[in-house]
Amino acid sequence: MPHYTAPSSRDAVSDSSPLLSGVSKHPDQPQKAGARHNNAGISAEAILYAVIFLCACSAGLWTIPATRQVEDLVCRQHYGVMKPVDEERCKEDSIQGKVAMIFAIYGSLEAAIAAVAALPWGIAADRVGRKSVFSLAVLGVMLDQLWFLVVCAFPSLLPLNAMWFGSSLLVIGGGNPVVSAVIFSMLTDITTPENRAKKFMAAHLSSMIGNLGSPIVAGWMMDRTGPWPVMWLSLFGFAVVGYTIRLMPETRPASRVSLDTLTDELSVKPSHRMASQLRELSSLMKLPSLVILLVAMLNLFPVTLSTFQFMIIFASRRFQISTSQTGFLSFFYGICVVVVIIAILPSLSKLLLSPKAPRALSFENSNKRDLFLARTSATMLLIGSLCLALSPTLSAFTGGLALLSLGSGWGSYARSLCALYVDSAHRAQLYTIMSLVETVGMISVQPVLAGLFSWGMDLGGFWIGLPYLGCASFCAAALGLLFLVRLPMFEGGHNDV
């Protein structure tokens, strides 16, 4: 367990001051130092949760109006008019299929470019600090959004496909994979192994609370102002995120290198530097169980993706509702996830470590419990996906979302388990790899979901739920992989048990 200390007046918290330290600098004042550091840790956690909340709010505000804006432009092209078309006329299969494919290609390009940029930025976060890299990643996301707005503002000058160029701007900072990796790295830096899954769950809760209200706000605003003010509000939210992260101290691991060392490394030939980085990262991939966890994450990413923008397009077409009305589905799913994270999972987690638990459901430590809960979450994702695929009515679809929410703890458990296999100095790189795994899933899965959606509409009837049948297949594969995972004997260890 790491020992928490607070910096002295000489070591005041700054961009280079870690929140974790393995050695106490003031052994003569352990209680006072510990209290100051605990306060700093709590404050840092609060700032991180606020950043996650703002990111989720901003992303949630963006999705619905951006989808409606593209749908409107595709609809105009379909009917050969320049003025906006009534939304009810835009629900034809050919229009919805094209909208889904535009966003699928857009998302895949964003993911591919972010994947290329994320690895060096993730290493830079370990070397020179998390906050600066995070701010650059947010800047890249904002520039991508700005280009999207430019393309939508001048449809007569710029073709709709020109929005895909904006994905190239994610080379600045590495985009969403780096944002996610840095946040979870900072959270890992300031938490103990015993509390890690709990803190990740709190981070997930912050994200879901942000996702909970933003679709409703977006739908309400769109009905009164149209999509443009909502998208500008989203952009402003990301700007606030970039500023808020500067309010907390740096959490870089203790085994960091100096800027002089980094400068020397940058003078090395790019090919040699990349080879060195790949050798360093390959050392993280020698444990079979860690690789299995990463592959399981890849298989479970489609069901996560299917609850965001794709669900808006799918529900709007299948149940013939307006784009703004789909916000209540996100709201309902968010409510369910909040209940699961606040009430159900904590109670279940406590019960599984309690002597009162049935013998078959009693675990001697939190790591074995987390692995069991990860498997249980994957099972619920499988059942929920099947329900979404087979739902004949909107009410049944919302019931499927409720079942799906019971597996919402999956990501937190997976990240907590993966952290057991590496030391603190390499966690940003680990979380970058995890984000890249999700990115690979995004690159491959989005076109697959869009293709299954178009195919399902062509087949009609039962087969319109084909995309969620695909998600269920991925969940089944992930569940099988999780039963092959073996836990290490100690954190950062190489011996499975």
Lowest-confidence segment of 199-208, 266-275, 286-295, 366-375 by average pLDDT: 266-275
**Could you give the C-alpha distances from 262 to 21, 136, 211, 259, in angstroms and in order?**
22, 18, 38, 5
Percent of the chain with pLDDT over 90: 22
Q: Return the residue matching tokens 């939190």.
A: 366
d(CA 122, CA 130): 9
d(CA 152, CA 140): 19
Lowest-confidence segment of 129-143, 187-201, 247-261 by average pLDDT: 247-261
User: Are the C-beta atoms of residues 455 and 127 closer than 8 Å to each other?
Assistant: no
Residue 438 has pLDDT above 80, yes or no: no
Tell me if the domain spanning 40-246+272-482 has CATH number 3.50.50.60.
Answer: no
d(CA 97, CA 108): 16
pLDDT number for residue 211 = 75
List all residues 6 or more positions away from 194 whose beta carbon is below 8 Å from its beta carbon. 1, 366
Beta strand residue intervals within 204-338, DSSP E: none
Per-residue pLDDT tens digits for 439-478: 677 778 878 888 888 898 888 888 889 999 999 999 999 9
Mean pLDDT of 162-171: 91
Q: Return the residue matching tokens 């079942």.
A: 403
Backbone angles phi, psi at 358, to 5 degrees: -55, 150
Tokens for 129? 């600090």
DSSP letter for 16, please.
Answer: T
**pLDDT-based confidence at residue 276 (cuts at 50, 70, 90):** low
End-to-end CA distance of the chain: 20
Lowest-confidence segment of 130-144, 322-336, 351-365 by average pLDDT: 351-365
pLDDT number for residue 45 = 84
**pLDDT-based confidence at residue 132 (cuts at 50, 70, 90):** confident
d(CA 464, CA 407): 24
3-state secondary structure of 3: strand
- The residue ranking higher by pLDDT, 200 or 424, is 200
Domain boundaries, the chain: 40-246+272-482
d(CA 287, CA 494): 7
Instruction: Quote the pTM value.
Output: 0.64
Instruction: Please state, as a whole number, how many other Cβ atoms lie within 10 Å of the Cβ of residue 184.
Output: 29
**Could you give the C-alpha distances from 83 to 73, 75, 108, 151, in angstroms and in order?**
9, 10, 30, 16
pLDDT number for residue 271 = 57
Angle between helices 227-244 and 196-225 (to 10 degrees): 150
d(CA 495, CA 497): 7
Mean pLDDT of 417-445: 76
User: Are the C-beta atoms of residues 292 and 484 closer than 8 Å to each other?
Assistant: yes
Per-residue pLDDT tens digits for 76-107: 988 888 888 888 888 888 888 888 889 888 88
d(CA 192, CA 200): 12
pLDDT number for residue 244 = 86
Tell me, letter by letter, the H, E, C secondary structure of 185-228.
Answer: HHHHHCCCHHHHHHHHHHHHHHHHHHHHHHHHHHHHHHHHHCHH
What is the pLDDT of the chain when averaged over all its residues?
A: 79
